[in-house]
Copies of this chain bind each other. A is one copy, B any other.
Amino acid sequence: MKKIAVLGSTGSIGTQTLDIVRKHSELKITALTAGSNIELLEKQVREFLPSLVCVYNEEKAAKLRENIKDCSTKVVAGMDGLIACAAQAEAETVVTAMVGMIGIQPTIEAIKAGKDIALANKETLVTAGHLIMPLIKEKKVSLLPVDSEHSAIFQSLHGEKERDVHKIILTASGGPFRGKKLSELTDVQPKDALKHPNWAMGQKLTIDSATMVNKGLEVMEAAWLFAVPIDRIQVVVHPQSIIHSMVEYIDGSVLAQLGAPDMRLPIQYALFYPDRTTFPGVERLDFISLSQLTFEEPDLDTFYGLKLGCTAGRIGGSMPTVYNAANEWAVAEFLQGRIAFLDIPAIIQEAMRHHQLIHNPSLNEILNTEQETYDFVRGVAKSVSLQ
């Protein structure tokens, strides 16, 4: 029986994680957390009977506490509650499935409490990799990537030696606007950008995929996870999303992981690692009906958000936080219809240009940088009348 805490259980990765738990009696949920969706969280509590849940929003937490007073589940709230779930004594593995930099502190506390981490929160390594990776080593816990690309790289590295890696080939679907030029993207509406060709994901991630900013974040994440410099990570557009990523070794040999585009596969892999187990109802690849896999160079002029991500990763320090925070803010504004699609990379670029770099930032400095970036981009957006 593996005991699991899921931080962010009402989101896309969270619900898919629970779908995996539902299929395997060897897995047990001990804690769940949500931002504010207490309707879904209540259902999850009644199904999975965790001993502890957290709602970040205090009012909603109080409401849930009232609604489930027939259950033995304890309801906590806020950052303290989130940390209580992350460091819960019972849990062995913590799935960090919340979106945003809110995930960093609970992840750190989970590692300090000796939990294995199934990492789905991109921001953790992107902004605080220099704090997280030494801690992972010190506490001798496992850091298991849940993202399909990073899981593919992890699987392609399994049993191999880090020193034998020549480069990482990170595949990208190219998103819904692959092949388009900048001039064709001026009038993109949120509903267009939310149509991802292959993957069912949360809204934020789907927009990040349309701008290719997600690949910028993934490049930075891969660099930390696999201790590979940014310049040894090549992004290749592979529209079918069948090869989830690859590793090229010093002898020219390339190992790749392939699979149906279903996030539950990498989630399950992380939860059962180092074992594999059957995936009930898995869609198996049929190479005959696939017929072809294609590859293209990413268009870094149109999708320059990706290029900015690699630049932020190369600069390091507090710059990835700026990249991430500016993007987070811009995507939210775009989804609200307040800025244009192409304003997203433009705002990231402005924020990065303006930022005074902090080398090796502390957690506080990272969180301050996030806040300062929000303040700055709000001002930029006003001054250039983007709204």
Contacts and interface: CB of A to CB of B under 8 A. Distances in A.
Interface stretch (A290-298, A307-315, A329-337): A290-298
Contacts of A359: none
A155 interface: yes
Nearest to A164: B276
Contacts of A292: 292-295
Contacts of A295: 287-288, 290-292
A269 B253 contact: yes
A372 interface: no
A160 B255 CA distance: 13
A283 to B, nearest CB: 7
A158 interface: yes
A222 to B, nearest CB: 16
Interface string A236-248: 1010000100101
Contact of A276 (B251, B256, B260): B251
Contacts of A134: none
A127 B173 CA distance: 46
B282 A252 contact: yes
Contacts of A290: 295
A327 interface: no
A258 interface: yes
Interface in A244-284: 246, 248-260, 262, 265, 268-269, 275-279, 282-284
Contacts of A257: 253-256
B259 A253 contact: yes
- What is the oligomeric copy number? 2
Residue of A243, A251, A262, A279 with most partner-chain B CB within 10 A: A251
B251 A268 contact: yes
Q: How large is the interface on A (under 10, 10 to 19, 20 to 34, 35 or more residues)?
A: 35 or more
A283 B279 CA distance: 37
Nearest to A165: B276
B258 A288 contact: no
A40 interface: no
B260 A252 contact: yes
Contacts of A268: 251
A268 B252 CA distance: 11
A246 B292 CA distance: 15
Contacts of A164: 275-276
A-B complex: 3 closest residue pairs judged by Cβ atoms: A159-B159, A252-B282, A254-B258
Given A164-B275, A256-B258, 14 more contacts: A161-B275, A161-B276, A166-B284, A236-B287, A243-B256, A249-B276, A250-B276, A250-B277, A251-B279, A252-B283, A252-B284, A288-B295, A291-B295, A293-B293
6 contacts: A236-B287, A250-B276, A250-B279, A251-B278, A256-B257, A292-B293
